[in-house]
Structure formats: structure tokens, C-alpha cells
């Protein structure tokens, strides 16, 4: 899968996680989605998000990576680096 296709695929897999976490069935995320776009995406929600992503994809973020994933795009970068879909 090409990089872009992989990212599109991952976006579609992350979307239900976001929808559930933020209780919004109609939420649509994109590469640029960040805490600025979602009022409920505070530091607590961030930890929950990463915990859920860890659970669903079987990965574990380092403390540094937890801090680096400030928006969806950065999250995808980190996931890519961790070998998902490589």
C-alpha cells in the first residue's frame, strides 16, 4: 500500500475510535483534526485516545510519543514509524 493509501485507510480505522470517544456519530476526522477542532480533546481525552488506539492496534506509545501526537497527522506519523502497515 502506498503511503497515502495507508494513511487514508488508517483514517477510516481511527474514525470510529474518535466517534466513540467524543460521542459524536457524525464526526469526520481528517489529517488536520486537532484539539483546536474538538472542544473535548483535552489532555485527559488525549490519554484516553492513545489508550484506545494502543488497544485496537496492539501498539504501545512511549512517553515521548504520547507528547508528540498533537494532532491526527502526527498520530499517523507515529503509527507509521511503529511499523503499522509498513
Question: Interface residues with other proteins (CB under 8 A)?
Answer: 23, 43-44, 47-48, 51-52, 55, 61-63, 66-67
Angle between the 3-21 and 43-57 helix axes, to the nearest 10 degrees?
120
Cβ proximity to other proteins, 37 vs 42, nearer residue: 42
Question: Least distance from C-beta 43 to other proteins, angstroms?
Answer: 6
Distance in Å, CB of 56 to other proteins, minimum: 10
Alpha carbons 28 and 14: distance in angstroms, whole number:
10
Quickly tell me which residue has 485527559 as its cell. 44
Amino acid at each position: 500500500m502506498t503511503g497515502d493509501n495507508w494513511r487514508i485507510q488508517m483514517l477510516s480505522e481511527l474514525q470510529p475510535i474518535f466517534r466513540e470517544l467524543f460521542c459524536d456519530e457524525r464526526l469526520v476526522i481528517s489529517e488536520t483534526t486537532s484539539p483546536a477542532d474538538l472542544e473535548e480533546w483535552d489532555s485527559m481525552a488525549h490519554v484516553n485516545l492513545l489508550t484506545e488506539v494502543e488497544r485496537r492496534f496492539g501498539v504501545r506509545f512511549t512517553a515521548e510519543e504520547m507528547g508528540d501526537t498533537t494532532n491526527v497527522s502526527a498520530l499517523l506519523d507515529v503509527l507509521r514509524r511503529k511499523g503499522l502497515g509498513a
